[in-house]
Structure 1
Amino acid sequence: MIKRFLPYYRPYKGLAAVDLGCALGLGLADLVFPAATARVVDVIVPAGDLSGLARFAALLVALYAVRAALEFIVGYYGHVLGVNIQHDLRRDIYRHLHTMDTRFFDNTKTGQIMSRIVGDLFDLAEISHHLPEDIIMASVRLVGSLVVMLAIEWRLALVVFAIVPVLVAFSATFREKFRSAFRRNKETMAAINERIEESVSGVRVVRAFGNEGFEAERFDEGNATFRKSRIESVWHIGVFSTGVSFLSNLGLVIVLTAGGFAAFKGAVSLGSYVAFALYVSRFFQPIETLVRSMEMFQEGAAGFRRFLEILDTEPTISDAPDAVALASVCGDVEFSGVGFRYGEGKERVLERVDLSVAAGETVAIVGPSGAGKTTLCSLIPRFYDIEEGSITVDGLDIRRATIASLRQAVGLVQQDVFLFSGSVRENIAYGRLGASDADIEAAARDANALDFIQGLPQGFETLVGERGVKLSGGQKQRIAIARMFLKNPPILILDEATSSLDTMSEQAIRESLERLSAGRTTFIIAHRLATIRHAERILVLTEDGIVEQGRHDDLVASGEVYKRLYDAQVESLLVS
């Protein structure tokens, strides 16, 4: 795992060298004061050397000025290093997420992803510089103190060193406890983020059903679970830190007592005794720092493992080694023996579907709910990959086309329109990045959206709110259609694009969709059969595949499944 993290330092090796070099300097600077104190006690004070004392004070002031400069560099540039590494980690996971196939997002909750991108990466940013800094400073102080103590009085130094195995053994007993506790913290925090994301995104549904209390209870359950997990980890940290501190202080008491006897007997000078006592403090302090570093490492490791879980998830849909870019697409689409299911062990959604659609043809797909209408069309831009058979565009198997060129050739307009929380202009321009204002206005006009856009408070610059919440359903739909006019794809998929709209909005949208469909290969997924009466061809899809196809009048006259669907809708309209 450490090998996976180290490459993130490479672009900033100069910055890391400065940061860690200054950390080394800080560690060495902290070793000077006890030695200088010994000289004052043993030489300067007994001799009454006031000028020597002044020189000593000036030297210490200079030393602490240098130390302050080193501390600033470590504090500032260390955090800059951490922020840079966090930036690169976030960039990598974000880019990787956009390579993942639709199935990954079907099975992974948004709150869990957000927890890893935000919370886990914040911890990693802190650890990326604090951990190596602390290890270097603590190691220098630890080794340096031990060497000097051995030089002053090796027997006392051995007494100090004998306490170290006890501290190590004590620390080892908490290693697995920390690992499991921090892992639970991350998991329960992700669950809380997930609950918040869902309740905020669905706030209108929550309020419409008056379920604020229910949502609060569900959140409280997750919040209580996190509190319990966090308290458990804090308990382990408290016991651990207290134990280490007690053992360190116990060692200091033992050494001070033994050193005092040595000083009484004249085995060491008073100055050496004072210096030794200060070095003992310098010796145990970095041990406590290293212990805290272990806690920090365990917490960071838990976050990095969760980060790697996503980064190591390979997309199941990617460009083939010999993939070619689609160019000048006409729009011939052919399904040959296509079979598909949503994952291993699940029932087939599509079974041996054969379909040939000529360039520029408009085909409507109808059928009972769950028959696979949307699934069938989702296979064309490779949102999912087929299990059996093949799908070709202009005679080329879509698995041999680059994903980018394939999706550029396919446009999708859905019933549930997604708008970004920017301006109307930005949302339309998403269809072709860099489009001119004239092109954006022309697309809005073609989508029957120009009049209502110009009537908005800031026109094209009006902010639509999160997911377009400030616009009506019909307005959002027309912006989505304008976006598609701008993209200008040769193949078009309209998924229930006119459902759940008022009559006036539906009429305006239907007119714009007819303009949009002209000259394009168009697949219309329809629930209301009245909307596709004039389609060139209607396909009736059931769990048995495409069971009927033809024009509306022919299917009403001679079809079975289509006739039943049509009669049911007519009867429903008469009753209502």
Structure 2
Amino acid sequence: MKNLQPQNRIPFLSKPFKLTNPTLKSPSKTLLQPLYSTFSLLSLITSQQKQRLQIGPRKQRQQGNTSDPFDPLSFIKPFILSQYKPILLGWLCSLLSVLSLSQLVPKFGQLSSSIGKIDGVTLRNDGLVLAGLFLAKLIATYGQHAFLWEAALNASYKIRVFVFERVLERELAFFEGGGAVSSGDVAYRITAEAADVADTVYALLNTIVPSALQLSAMASRMLVISPVLSLIAAMVIPCTALAIAYLGTRLRKVSKKAKLSISALSAYLNEVLPAILFVKANNAEFSEVARFERLANADLSTLLTKRKMKAFIPQIVQIIYFGALSILCVGSMAVSSGCFDGCSMVSFITSLIFVVEPIQDVGKAYNEWKQGEPAIERLFDLTKFKSKVTEKPDAVDLGHVSGDVKFCDISFRYGENSPLVLNGLNLHIKAGETVALVGPSGGGKTTLIKMLLRLYDPLYGCILVDNQNIQNVQLESLRRHVGLVSQDIVRF
């Protein structure tokens, strides 16, 4: 019968050969200043920073020290900076929102104190001005959220693509063997945890400039109206900030445990559901339900702890509101004694309310960051590796292949403490020959194919294709000339 093997491909090994070695398995200037600083910061984005986000050749991204301490912000920073346009637009909208608010607060105080003292036309005109300012604030706030969410989701998308590409570049040993990472765990990180990163990025972007602008504008107005009451209000903030910081550190640890528990549950489901045939064939339904119950209970415990802590943190922020009530009482007494008028009092309380809002946002953003840190770290772990199978800088293209393959004194083991799978193997397969490998399970038959594709490198010895050492050949060129037909069906 005529051999119908593809041209320029190495034929599958099928000449009888037995392997016997088994293996074990002013207000406006003040307001604009933070935005100017932000513009200066973002203008530092260079082509080199943008280059970090581009998917480049394999060998350019496999360099680097994998033992450096992990900094979540340094990992996501290039992805965030790549979205500088929607970020700037969002922060510009926040500036317009705060400008509208800074005009709205004094006019509201003036109007509230003069009701009944002015004619209907003036009241109507002042009301229209207030409505216009309020509408402008609503529109600007919507633009702020829309643009910043666009930036956060695009950054998360880029992180997800980058991590997935790095996962595909990892060696086969990462996916199989005793130390392999579960495919369900990897899938959970790239899907759910990358989505959590989007929430974290949005919380940061929505706090850095918008909250700073609103806080500085309203605090400045409070100082102008009454420095004494402003000082009383400021005394509440440091204590609250310290409490939130302490709870945030605890929340990060709990969040990391929660990520690990849900990841273990997801990995188990990805393992057991495709193997449902074997579960039923071995009457293992009861034991698998018990195993699932243990994993689900562990996830429940960590999730309850996390939710209770998240519920407690806003109560700390409520202290600020009680502080505001005390200031209201002091202010009322001051008005009664004639220290300052009712218009100033209304403006002060209104400003205080809008000071509390950004402080609360900062607390929420801090909590989001502490919850997002474990997700960022687990995504980073997928990208941090140094390949053992590397391509030499002067690697050559394999070119035309006749199909002559030599395994020269090959020895191989999967782990440092594992027994040798292959020990001093020599095999010569001439062009056009069909070779069959016969041996027990774990004897190294599939290992030979993996080494021919350079998914693993031998411990000792070398593999020659047309008398060329495959370690001197470009990986893409080598794998292009090897045809692999598996018993498992995979669609691309």
Q: TM-score range by the shorter chain?
A: 0.7 to 0.9
CA distance in 2, matches of 1:202, 1:283: 57
- Per-residue deviation, residues 136-169 of structure 1 (Å, max 9, x unmatched): 3222222212111110010111111111111122
Task: Tell me the equivalent position of 2:102.
Answer: 31
**1:232: Cα distance to partner?**
0.2
Asked if the contact 1:127–1:297 (Cα under 8 Å) also holds between the matched residues in 2, the reply is yes
Residue 205 in structure 1 maps to residue 278 in structure 2: yes
- Per-residue deviation, residues 350-386 of structure 1 (Å, max 9, x unmatched): 2222222222222232234333222123210012111
Unaligned runs of 5+ in 1: 421-429, 431-576
**1:33: Cα distance to partner?**
2.9
CA distance in 1, matches of 2:483, 2:87: 47
Q: Which residue identity does 1:65 align to in structure 2?
A: L
**SS state at 2:301 partner:** helix
Asked if the contact 2:408–2:463 (Cα under 8 Å) also holds between the matched residues in 1, the reply is yes
- Per-residue deviation, residues 426-465 of structure 1 (Å, max 9, x unmatched): xxxx6xxxxxxxxxxxxxxxxxxxxxxxxxxxxxxxxxxx
CA distance in 2, matches of 1:199, 1:24: 53
Task: Tell me the equivalent position of 2:167.
Answer: 97
TM-score by length of 2: 0.81
Residue 234 in structure 1 maps to residue 321 in structure 2: no
Asked if the contact 1:185–1:226 (Cα under 8 Å) also holds between the matched residues in 2, the reply is yes
Residue pairs, 1:162-173, within 5 angstroms: 162-173=235-246
Residue 40 in structure 1 maps to residue 111 in structure 2: yes
**SS state at 1:327 partner:** coil
TM-score by length of 1: 0.69
Asked if the contact 2:97–2:136 (Cα under 8 Å) also holds between the matched residues in 1, the reply is no
Asked if the contact 1:391–1:398 (Cα under 8 Å) also holds between the matched residues in 2, the reply is yes
Task: Tell me the equivalent position of 1:399.
Answer: 471
Residue 185 in structure 1 maps to residue 258 in structure 2: yes
CA distance in 2, matches of 1:275, 1:328: 83
Q: Which residue identity does 2:79 align to in structure 1?
A: Y
Determine which of 61, 73, 78 is the counterpart of 2:143. 73
Return structure 1 stretches of 4+ with deviation > 6 angstroms. Answer: none
- Per-residue deviation, residues 215-270 of structure 1 (Å, max 9, x unmatched): 2222222111111101101111112211221x112211221121112111211111
Task: Tell me the equivalent position of 1:527.
Answer: none
How many residues were matched structurally?
418
Task: Tell me the equivalent position of 1:291.
Answer: 363
Task: Tell me the equivalent position of 2:195.
Answer: 122
Task: Tell me the equivalent position of 1:258.
Answer: 330
Structure with the higher fraction of residues in strand conformation? 1
Asked if the contact 1:78–1:130 (Cα under 8 Å) also holds between the matched residues in 2, the reply is no
CA distance in 2, matches of 1:32, 1:340: 75
Measured at CA, do residues 173 and 79 of structure 1 come closer, stay the same or move farther in structure 2, by a change above 3 Å? closer
**1:46: Cα distance to partner?**
6.2
**1:345: Cα distance to partner?**
2.3
More contact order relative to length (CA 8 Å, sep ≥ 6): 2
Asked if the contact 2:80–2:152 (Cα under 8 Å) also holds between the matched residues in 1, the reply is no
- Per-residue deviation, residues 257-300 of structure 1 (Å, max 9, x unmatched): 21112111211111111111121221222211111111111112
Residue 21 in structure 1 maps to residue 89 in structure 2: no
Task: Tell me the equivalent position of 1:59.
Answer: 129
Asked if the contact 2:145–2:206 (Cα under 8 Å) also holds between the matched residues in 1, the reply is no
Determine which of 402, 405, 412 is the counterpart of 1:333. 405
Residue 409 in structure 1 maps to residue 469 in structure 2: no
**1:180: Cα distance to partner?**
0.4
Asked if the contact 2:411–2:458 (Cα under 8 Å) also holds between the matched residues in 1, the reply is yes
CA distance in 2, matches of 1:128, 1:80: 11
CA distance in 2, matches of 1:419, 1:369: 22
Asked if the contact 1:332–1:359 (Cα under 8 Å) also holds between the matched residues in 2, the reply is yes
**1:129: Cα distance to partner?**
2.4
CA distance in 2, matches of 1:318, 1:67: 56
**SS state at 2:83 partner:** helix
Q: Which residue identity does 2:351 align to in structure 1?
A: Y
Unaligned runs of 5+ in 2: 1-71
CA distance in 2, matches of 1:284, 1:80: 26
**1:118: Cα distance to partner?**
0.7
CA distance in 2, matches of 1:25, 1:222: 50
Asked if the contact 1:27–1:136 (Cα under 8 Å) also holds between the matched residues in 2, the reply is no
Determine which of 419, 434, 444 is the counterpart of 1:347. 419
RMSD: 1.8
- Per-residue deviation, residues 462-517 of structure 1 (Å, max 9, x unmatched): xxxxxxxxxxxxxxxxxxxxxxxxxxxxxxxxxxxxxxxxxxxxxxxxxxxxxxxx
